[in-house]
Each structure stands twice: as structure tokens, then as C-alpha cells.
Structure 1
Amino acid sequence: MNKNLSYALHSAAVLAFMFLFQFLPPVAPLTSVSMQVIGVFIGVIYGWVNVGLAWPSLLGVVALGCTDYMPMTTVLQTAFGTQTLVMILSLLLLAAFVQQADLTGVILDWLLGMKSARGKPFLTLFYFLMAGFLAALLSQSIAVFVIFLELFKDLMKKTGIKPYSSAVPAFFVGMGFSLSFGDSALPFKGSGIVAIGAYQAITGESMNLVHFVLFCMPLSVLGIAAYVLFCKYCMKVDLSPLKNYVHVKENVTLSLKKKVALVGVVGTLLFLLLPGVVPPSSSLHDVFGILGLGGLSLLLLAVLFIIRVEGEPLIDVGKIAPFFPWNVFFILVVLFPLANAISSDVVGLNAIISSGVSALLNNMPTALIMATVIFLAAYITNFANNMVICALFVTIVCFIRDSLPIHPEILSYLVVLSSSLSMFFPAANPINAIIFGQRDCVSFRQEFTHGFICCSFLCCVLLVSGYVWSRIVF
């Protein structure tokens, strides 16, 4: 089947789910409104997995506005008019600015140039993956990966790492999940934003951004360190060619504009965390209450727009426009009204899912609930877009929150991290697709085997560390 025919068939399926599914006879206790909303939901998910993220999201908004659940005006208000979406839009603009500012090379040189890594191959691997993780925090993961892929190939030439040796999948799999972690560990990145949006849409409450960072950042770093140790002591990866590797730093000076950009970005993120830590009795808390996260994020973004460095604006809209992650924005636009609809009493899925899952989870230990969520999200994300899987599992967690012996925010954070373990199949994300295409230096079997084993191990790491860390943070 050629690509055009496949695209046409998948597109037809999306349209059928969104506009024809509603004509199927509903099974009690579902109603005709239930069938309309469920059809739109299935159509959007199917489109995300098989077609793309942009037009299924936008068409999903239109289709939902054509149902009997709510009129188009209300759908559009819910999609575009919330405090959370305004905050997310501001953060996406900030993320685009950071990527355009090009701070990746500075981070890479700083980490790989450390003297402590000389003669220590696995420490070099750790620094390499940490460099990717930190660069992905401040940029777009696929762009960072392109740079790191070329760096690794250059590393192979300089050190004599052989194609199809165990070192190759160790680096490739590590790059895949560490960059994905970097794209998720902050609340203004891809999966983090999706999780915040889904949580807000269903629970009506805002996620605590301070808790998000305190939970996801340390566990991400721990996951990378655990992976390196697992490669060394359990997978017995041979990194001996790296023993004599010395990274030569480029003579790159940090311009005044980049210094101001870095300070501005860090300051903005710190200010967005303040509403979660200031005492309720303080006047600053009252100010934050008036502004809301949406107003505060717009204020901070406006300040960055006002700043000029060497006669030029710090942020130029025209320059950052090509870096804006539209796919993330499109997902959220449909997610807000659709998640509200799916979880409403009118549709009735909430009661069905809650009763079924409540029976399943009755008297189930907290650790087993966490394990089920982590392993399912991690394995399924390797066959679908991680943001889609993150949105789905956070939605499910919020559905059953009254039946959980653990705070739904904790499980949502674990979903963000476990859905980022895209490690053993090419369909996981564009990075994995490129990695599995490197047939000149790694086989499909090598990449799949190493990735699957390490994914299972990291699920266990997330389970144990997540359980312990949740007791400390919450």
C-alpha cells in the first residue's frame, strides 16, 4: 500500500469516527450524546497516531462543536480562553525563544570537556547523555538529537568504536530516552504541558509547578545515572575505546545577548514557580491571585519583549516564529474541551470507568497501582506518540482519582516520565525513527533488545524512586 492511499484511508477513518460514529446505537447507560463525544475522541486519538497532530486536533474542535454536548462558542471558549492555556502559550513562546537563542553548544562543551571524564568511559557516557538532557530542556529534542547524532558519529571515528558493537545501542538508546526526558522534565515542555492541560481540564485544579519540578527533575537525572550503571554492570557494554578520549572545547564565547537570554529564561521560570511557595497570608500571594498563572506568564513574557540588548530586542517575534512548537499547541487546543466532555456526567464515561477501575483497584497496594501505570505507559508509548500516551494516561488517572490511595498528581508525574521511555521501537517518536534508520552502525535486533531490557529496568527504577520520592516531596 503506497503512502498516499494509506493516508487517504486513515484520513477517511478519522472523519468516520468524528462524524459517523454517533449514528451507531448506544449501549446503556450511554446516550446519543455519549456516542457523539466518544466518536470525536476516538477520531482525534486515531488521527494523532496514524495521520498527524495538527489537522485532527483542529477538526476535533470543530466536530465537538457540532455535537449536542455544547455549542461551538462554548467549545472555542474552553479551547482558547483558559488561564492554563494562556500560560502554556507563553511558555511555548519562551521555549521557541530558548531554541532560537542556541545555547546547546555551550552546554555540550561544558559537560564533555570536564576533566573528571578522562579515562572513565562510562562517566563520559553519563556526561554525554546529561548534555543531551540539559540541551533538550532548553531546546527542541529533535534538533538537539541531530547535533548529538553527528557528535556521536564523530566520536566513533576518533575513538575507534566499531559499528554493531555494544557501545552503539548503548549511546543510541540512551540518547533516545534522555532527550525525551529533557523534553518532559519541566512544566513548559511537551509532555509536561500536555499533562498539566489534561489534569486541569478534568480535575478543575492546577498542577503545582514546584512539585512538578521537584519530582520530575531529580528522577530524570537518577534515571540517566541508573541507565549508565545498568549498561556497565548488567549489560556489560564495552566502552573501552573511550578510555583515551579527550573532548576538545570549541572557542565559543557567550555573547552578552545570550547571557541576558539565559538569565531571563531562568528568572521567568523561577517567577512562575513562586505562586506555589509564597505564604497565603502574604500580599504577594494576593497579587498572584489577581494575575493568575496566565496573567503572570504574559507579564513576564512582556518584560522579556521590552528588554533590549545592544540596541536590539531580546526577543524578536519574527526570529522565534519558526521554532514555535505548533503540534503541542494543537494537541492542547482540542484536549481542553474534549477532556472536559469525556469526563462529564452528561457523557457518562466517568461513572463507567470509575466503577470498573474501582473494582479492579479495590484493596490494591499503592506500589502495584504505580507499577501498572508506569509499565503500561512505558510499553505503549513505544508504539505511539509519547504526548498522546501521556494525555491518555493522565486522563485515566484523573478519572479514577477518588479510588486511588495516592495523590493523582504523583501518578501524573510518573506518567510524564514513563511515557518518555521511548526506547525500543521506531514508532515511539521521530528520534527513534532516525535511530533505527542508522543501519550502517546498528541492527534492528540490537536496538530493540537493548532498548526493551533497559526500558523494563528503568520502569523499576521509576517505581522505586517514585514511591520513595513521593513520600519525601508530598
Structure 2
Amino acid sequence: MANQNERKREKMFLIHSLIGVGIMVFFRFLPLNLPEVTSVGMEVLGIFIGTLYLWTFVDPLWGSLMSIAMVGLSNYMPMAGLLKEAFGAPVVAQVFFLLIMAGGLVYYKITLYIGRFFLTRKFTNGKPWLLTFVICLGCYFLGGFISPFTAIFLFWPVLYDVFEEVGYKKGDALPRVMLTLVVVAALIGFPMAPFAQNGLALLTNFTNITANLPGGPVVVNNAAYMAVAIILGLIMIVANILFAKFVIRPDVTKLKNYDVDMLNKNPLPPMEPRQKVIGISFVILILGMLLPSLFPTLPGMAFLSSNSLGLALLMVAILGAIRIKGKSVLEIPQVMATNFNWGAYFII
């Protein structure tokens, strides 16, 4: 049975890959008469649609690489110029070093402490939907600052243990609802941070698109963007939870017996110096990117703002130089080999 499923997955991977690449190659030959779209525009449009297809049905990393290769082989731009634009853009460099920092939080298990914090708030005892909201809140911020996959893979195993502890069985409605809400909350948080991953890509693209408008490019204030994103994110999370509570209405009776002390029976060990240094450094990095937007008139904020793209690089360099017990605080090769989000990097 397992071999059959594996063969089926491989077959579907091949089929979807061929369809995606086929769209990239043959879309330009469709008898479409799109106003103001040149033949080169048809090439690029086909590659764009094919890229979306590969991202959706195959793999973000592979789809992104194929997209870059196909644009380089098109009449839009020679490959050398394209690679310079794709990998030489400041936003791509910033994301590269931000993902190293985020990967360090996962590699050194700092995210476990973050997740445990949201799961052990005593005010959630006996309040299943409040507990659900707090868990979704943790997924939202982890999804925004680190990655949605980190949030999902962190909270799902813990929730499985909680469900088993309070007596839920496989197939019960509440576990399925809560696991789905975790995924939705993590994805809502994906574009929340204006200096990381999707949020940074969206704002950079918006600035580039508006560059030719009268008055020049529209630059969005990072702090204002993040404030609005958090408010909208919380509204969407609450709306999803209310939908689950009043429309789906799973049985939450057993979860009322959940006590945070169930997790405290197996407490995490105290954080090591390396974990504390990396965690504090990540907070400093976030503040360094937000403060110029919050307090632009303070001394040094203009300098910080003009060099914000290099803050993550500087932080990675410092953490790589500082040594604890003969090892770098941030072991960059190990982090990149195991916890670097290549899919997010190549999408950007």
C-alpha cells in the first residue's frame, strides 16, 4: 500500500511538472489577442502562470528555479542580466540573512520555548476557545517572523499529545478543526512582518510598481504596515475561531479538562547561553528594523534606516564571530544545511 501511494505521488509529481513547464513553453503560442501585450509579454505571462501552477501543485523551490531558468531563456533578458537582477537585488540579500537568523531559532530549539509559552498560559485552563485563540496567536507570530512551516511543525506534535491526554481519538472533529486553525493562522501571519519573507517582497514590489507614478515611488511605513497587518490578522483569526465555534461546533467538552500543568510535567530545560544570545539578537534585529519607522526624528534613526538592509548581515556576522565553548554562537553551515527555508528564499 505504501509503495502504491509513493508511486502515485511520483506519477502526479511528474504530470504536474510537465503541465507547469508546458504552460511556460507553449502559452505564448495560444491564439490570444491581449491588448497592448507584446510577444515578449506573452512569453513572460506564460512563464508567470506556469510558475503559479508549479508553486501550487509541485514545489515552491523547484518551481522558482524553473521560473528563473525559463525567463533567462526567453527573449525578455539574457541569462547573465537576469541572474544579476534575481540574486543581486538588495531585498533578496536581506531575506537570505534573515532566513539564517530564523533558521538559527529553529536549529537551536528556541522556537520550542516560544511555543511552550503560548501553550502554558494558566488563564486558558477550562476555556477551550480561548486556548485555541492563544495557540493561533503563537502560530501567527511564528509564521510572520520565522516561517509558517515552523509554526505548524512546532504546534501540531504538542497538540497531538494534548488531544491524547484529554481523551480525543483519531477522527474526532475538534482535533481536525484545531489543526486546521493552526495552519490558517500561520499562513495569515506569513506577510505580517514588513522586513521578512513575504511582507518584504510585497512591499518591495509595491515600491517598484509605483516608481513610475506621478510623484515617484510610494514607500510604505514599516511600523504602520505591521500595525495594520496585526490588526487585520487578529480580526481574521477571531473570525475563523468564531466560525469554528458557532458553525462547525465541534465537541470541546474534553478539552475543558486540559490544564497547562500537563505540559509542565515535562518542563523544558533552562535556556543555554547560546540560545539566550540568539534569541536576544533576533529581538534586537526586529527592533532595529522597526525603530526608524516608529521614531524617525530620533538621533541615529536616519543612519539606521538607510542601512536597514544590512542589519541582518551584520547580526549574522557578529553571531558567527562570537564563540561559546569553542564554537560560534550561530553555526552558519549547520543552520543552512538543516533549517534554511530555501523555498521561501527562491520564491522571493
Distance 1:184 1:35, change over 3 A: closer
| TM-score under structure 1 length normalisation | 0.61
Distance 1:90 1:208, change over 3 A: farther
- Where in structure 2 are the equivalents of 1:233-382 lying within 5 Å? 233=246, 235-248=248-261, 249=264, 250-252=266-268, 253-279=270-296, 284-286=301-303, 288-289=305-306, 291=307, 293-321=308-336, 322-332=338-348
1:48 pairs with 2:55:
yes
Deviations 1:78-127 (A, max 9, x none): 21222222222221222111221212332333333232222323223333
| TM-score under structure 2 length normalisation | 0.81
Q: Give, as a single letter, the amino acid of the residue that structure 2 aligns with 1:18.
A: M
The total of aligned residue pairs comes to 330
- Where in structure 2 are the equivalents of 1:188-207 lying within 5 Å? 188-204=195-211, 205=217, 206-207=219-220
Return the alpha-carbon distance in structure 2 between the equivalents of residues 58 and 316 of structure 1. Answer: 27
1:171 pairs with 2:186:
no
Return the alpha-carbon distance in structure 2 between the equivalents of residues 20 and 227 of structure 1. Answer: 40
Distance 1:10 1:282, change over 3 A: same
Deviations 1:252-285 (A, max 9, x none): 2122221111110000111012332343695541
Return the alpha-carbon distance in structure 1 between the equivalents of residues 195 and 105 of structure 2. Answer: 12
Distance 1:327 1:239, change over 3 A: same
SS in 1 for 2:259: coil
Distance 1:3 1:202, change over 3 A: same
> Which residue matches 2:20?
14
Return the alpha-carbon distance in structure 2 between the equivalents of residues 323 and 48 of structure 1. Answer: 20
Deviations 1:328-367 (A, max 9, x none): 11112xxxxxxxxxxxxxxxxxxxxxxxxxxxxxxxxxxx
Give unpaired runs (5+ residues) of structure 2: 1-6, 212-216
The alignment's C-alpha RMSD in Å is 3.0
Identity of aligned residues (%): 26
SS in 2 for 1:203: helix
Q: Give, as a single letter, the amino acid of the residue that structure 2 aligns with 1:251.
A: P
* Contact 2:97-2:312 at 8 Å conserved across structures: yes
Q: Give, as a single letter, the amino acid of the residue that structure 2 aligns with 1:13.
A: I
SS in 1 for 2:133: helix
Distance 1:90 1:146, change over 3 A: closer
Distance 1:191 1:115, change over 3 A: same
> Which residue matches 2:231?
218
> Which residue matches 1:451?
none
SS in 2 for 1:161: coil
Distance 1:29 1:4, change over 3 A: same
